[in-house]
Structure 1
Amino acid sequence: MTENGTTANPYLSGLFAPVREETTAVDLPVTGRLPESLRGRYLRNGPNPVGFPDPAAYGWFSGEGMVHGVRLRDGAAEWYRNRWVRSDDVAGQLGEKLLHGPRHLGLDFAPNTHVQRFAGHLLALVEGGSLPYELDDELRTIGPFDFHGTLPGGLAAHTVIDPGTGELHTVAYCLAWPYVQYLVAGTDGCVRHRVDIPVEGHPMMHDFSLTARHVLLYDLPGVYAPPTEPDGEPTPYWDPERPARLGLLPRDGGAAEVRWLDIDPCFVFHPMNAYEHDGTITVHLVRYDRMFDSGPGAKPAPARMERWTVDPAAGTVRRHRLDDRAVEFPRADPRRLTVRHRYGYAMLEPSGEAGSAGAHVTEGGGVRRLGAGLVKYDLERGTSETFLVPPHGDVGEGVFVPAAPGAAEDDGWVLAFAYDPGRAATDLLVLAAQDFAAGPVARVHLPVRVPIGFHGNWIPDAD
């Protein structure tokens, strides 16, 4: 409780509490042995307000982005850094020179959701109409990035880099648009393909799926209400009257070629991967029965791992639950995106009561229990392995890193930030994917706590 007796904002307390300083630490201590093949940076983005927002009005998704990174090379952890993304507002609050740069509809937000390298540019990403921001190798902000003047609007929080072509695919939305936008950028870093797909209302299409031939669009009852005040923020809510549907767009097709298939009401933040085989499309994803409920006693539905089998000829979508446990943040081997894959990884939540660290909160704003571990799925055998963190600890998204470019699908490492309650600070965990349940082969001990955040990636050193 706060001093005036009101409930504290969970996004500003406990393991969500923002850090107030940028830190640089070198020669980090390591327990265990780091694989020498890990040469690059593990980076993760998340909301971290610069100032002291009003607890009654602050929403987690509105916090300015801060990127946390660990540099690994030759079996050593060379540095840890955390840096705010310098939008003009952030730079102004920090008393620094404004970077300025291109804008979309005047929007200038410090991206807080993901980080991805593409065509030689390291990009901090967010959805809703703002441009991505480019960072340098040491996480300093270069400025807004508009794909060399070819980006027609904002980008999105999630992208897929096709391992076969090296091109970037995404689906973007903005409250000012009566459509969502499928974009393809070539390996030269320029947008080469754009399709504007009309949709009614303002659906929150946080992510999408990509196969070798199709783009899958999730048009679901989770939608945005426009802000009621000139400087207000849009609010996501559940519209029970809105049909749920899955859109199939041929990669080289136009908006008129989208085929919409009716599905059961649900919400999907994050697919794991999708692929086509013998005329059907298989999608592995995390599904909520509903999301963005409000009112007294409202509780977020747990998210479950499912397999969807899409039959375009019959116009059907069949669901099969793969796990009764609550999971989120599914990931797959990036070399297997758009094609058949056997393994996947997700953040696992406990079934018991939340620990003293507090509640975990979804990107959309629903409070849920703290993540308790990571799970590895063998999707062919229908089995899983689990790694659990200690009581009152926490772990974030697990990112798979192959041991070598030609290594087997599960021959590699899973990297994740994990809070260690004994140190009151965060470790970077390195787990061997082929011996997942055995626990980390190495722990890199960071000098500070990394607040609970969103998504990240392994950025290997350039050859």
Structure 2
Amino acid sequence: MSVIAHSAPTVTRRHTRHPVPDEVTETELVVTGQLPAELDGCLVRIGPDPIRPSPREHSLVGDGAVHGVRLGHGTALWYRNRWIRTDRVARDRGELPLPGPRHGLSDNANANVIQHAGRTLALGEAGVLPIELDAELESVARLDFDATLPHGFTAHAEADPVTGELFAVAYYHELPYVEHLVVGVDGRVRRSTRIEVAGTPLMHSVALTDRHTVLFDLPVAFDPHLAGAGSRFPYAWTDGRPARLGLLPRSASDADVRWFEVDPCYVFHPVNAYEAGDHCVIDVIRHERVFDRDRQAPGESAPTLWRWTADLIGGSVSAEQIDDIPQEFPRMDERRKTMPYRFAYTVAMQGGDSGVLGGSALLRHDLDRRDVAVHDFGPACVAGEAVFVPSGPFGAEDDGWLLTYVYDARDDRSRLVVLDAADFTGPPVAVVHLPVRVPSGFHTTWIAN
């Protein structure tokens, strides 16, 4: 195993996760620097923001809320934050429930936001149906893709950059299998494949190559004892449960999944996957363990960047740790998904009140040179997931900008920070100063106009 060692950036524990109590709309935003005119869209952050906080609440189940800044014509047009209108939120606010179908025990779409088939969708774990958002981040309706979705959906679907199709694995504790789903560019499920698994594993994500969907069947699964005790997210580490990667040909059936054993671990987020000759390369953020000693939060081990290489002829997997800084929330140039790529961007993690949700620095991994650059915002700051936005459709892999929300404890406010990807360690190109704090959350998404 090859390891590149670095000193972890200095960070300071900050209270970034306590709820933001009010919905805010602000159209008079101060901008430092110059926003690129090419940035025409909305940067959206989603995460848990409980309306009625509980000191014992699981870190993944707070009421979903979105925060967004709309950019265009070199200006910041507005900032908005809105709770996702789940049944629980609608009842609390005395509003009518959202229209649309229901599935499962929860509708808490608090984990991710994507854009597909002309719709902006908030997604959640464990069979939650997508909730459509409008251009001003208001909740519109629950969706089941025009009644083509067999059951629930997933928190982390992946889009093929060439075909535009959406790939996902949905899991739900009442089903003795998981469902591999392909959503066409028309927004309808065109293929659903049952994948037999033991119990109900927590499959947060998938990865894509140009020929396969990569499945992560790892030792975190539904725990009926936790469910019986009232846990709103009853998934836990299961000793003895196998850890394996599955390669499912895109047009094949359950019987065609090829499984590869790996050492026990957990993966929330792959970076990318691609095939090179007789090998499949899968880059991931690997946790040694989650939801074991601490059933309420996934921060008990330091997640780091690893590469698995599956030998498609011999059936073995080699594992290599690429970097040892604790990090999460990997992003890349989405145009290079399923293909060999050079740059990956992650958040250097801190412990304490931010858990595994933020840190003071962003990392840029140059996977060709095997080095890492650090952009540290300072000990009073906490950055979230960064999104790469290319300057145009045909630009180089680092020809564009990184956008992220950064909380600054010195004034208890957040900023939208724009970095030049080619000058990663240099000063920001622009900073949009927000009137409130954006809590540490989950995923950040650029919704192009």
TMscore range, shorter length: over 0.9
**Hey, what's the Cα distance between the residues in 2 that align with 1:18 and 1:236?**
24
Displacement after TM superposition at 1:37 (Å): 0.5
Indicate the residue corresponding to 2:15 in structure 1: 14
**Hey, what's the Cα distance between the residues in 1 that align with 2:185 and 2:99?**
26
Higher relative contact order (CA 8 A, sep 6+): 2
Question: Cα–Cα, structure 1 residues 295 and 281, in superposed 2: closer, same or farther, change >3 Å?
Answer: closer
**Hey, what's the Cα distance between the residues in 2 that align with 1:239 and 1:59?**
18
User: Does the 8 Å contact 2:299/2:355 carry over to 1?
Assistant: no
Indicate the residue corresponding to 1:28 in structure 2: 29
One-letter amino acid of the counterpart of residue 199, structure 1: V
Q: TM-score, normalised by structure 2?
A: 0.93
Q: Which runs of 5+ in 1 are unaligned?
A: 1-12, 364-369
In the TM superposition, what whole-angstrom CA distance separates every residue of 1:245-289 from its partner, at most 9, and x where no partner exists? Answer: 111111111001111111111111110010111121111111112
Q: TM-score, normalised by structure 1?
A: 0.90
Question: Cα–Cα, structure 1 residues 397 and 228, in superposed 2: closer, same or farther, change >3 Å?
Answer: closer
- Aligned counterpart in structure 1 of residue 426 of structure 2, from 438, 444, 455: 438
In the TM superposition, what whole-angstrom CA distance separates every residue of 1:88-145 from its partner, at most 9, and x where no partner exists? Answer: 221111111222320124x442310110010011100112011010010001111101
One-letter amino acid of the counterpart of residue 152, structure 2: G
Indicate the residue corresponding to 1:300 in structure 2: 300
Indicate the residue corresponding to 2:178 in structure 1: 180
User: Does the 8 Å contact 2:58/2:233 carry over to 1?
Assistant: no
One-letter amino acid of the counterpart of residue 383, structure 2: V
- Partner of 2:246, secondary structure, is strand
**Hey, what's the Cα distance between the residues in 2 that align with 1:458 and 1:159?**
15
Question: Cα–Cα, structure 1 residues 132 and 265, in superposed 2: closer, same or farther, change >3 Å?
Answer: same
Displacement after TM superposition at 1:405 (Å): 1.0
Please give the residue correspondences for 1:368-407 in structure 2 after superposition, counting only pairs within 5 Å. Answer: 371-407=359-395
Verify: 1:359 aligned to 2:357, yes or no: no
**Hey, what's the Cα distance between the residues in 1 that align with 2:100 and 2:397?**
41
User: Does the 8 Å contact 2:299/2:356 carry over to 1?
Assistant: no
- Partner of 2:323, secondary structure, is coil
Verify: 1:330 aligned to 2:330, yes or no: yes
Indicate the residue corresponding to 2:398 in structure 1: 410
Please give the residue correspondences for 1:229-268 in structure 2 after superposition, counting only pairs within 5 Å. Answer: 229=228, 232-268=231-267
User: Does the 8 Å contact 1:116/1:124 carry over to 2?
Assistant: yes
- Partner of 2:424, secondary structure, is helix
- Partner of 2:425, secondary structure, is helix
Higher mean C-alpha deviation, range 330-339 or range 236-245: 236-245
One-letter amino acid of the counterpart of residue 84, structure 2: V
One-letter amino acid of the counterpart of residue 249, structure 1: L
Query: How much is the aligned-residue C-alpha RMSD, in angstroms?
Result: 1.7
One-letter amino acid of the counterpart of residue 210, structure 2: A
Indicate the residue corresponding to 1:286 in structure 2: 285
Indicate the residue corresponding to 2:320 in structure 1: 320
**Hey, what's the Cα distance between the residues in 2 that align with 1:349 and 1:121?**
32
**Hey, what's the Cα distance between the residues in 2 that align with 1:47 and 1:183?**
26
Displacement after TM superposition at 1:53 (Å): 3.5
User: Does the 8 Å contact 1:64/1:109 carry over to 2?
Assistant: no
Displacement after TM superposition at 1:231 (Å): 5.7
Higher mean C-alpha deviation, range 223-232 or range 378-387: 223-232
Structure 1 runs of 4+ with >4 Å offset: none
Question: Cα–Cα, structure 1 residues 160 and 228, in superposed 2: closer, same or farther, change >3 Å?
Answer: closer
Question: Cα–Cα, structure 1 residues 282 and 62, in superposed 2: closer, same or farther, change >3 Å?
Answer: same
Identity of aligned residues (%): 45
- Partner of 1:78, secondary structure, is strand
Verify: 1:223 aligned to 2:217, yes or no: no
**Hey, what's the Cα distance between the residues in 2 that align with 1:436 and 1:269?**
26
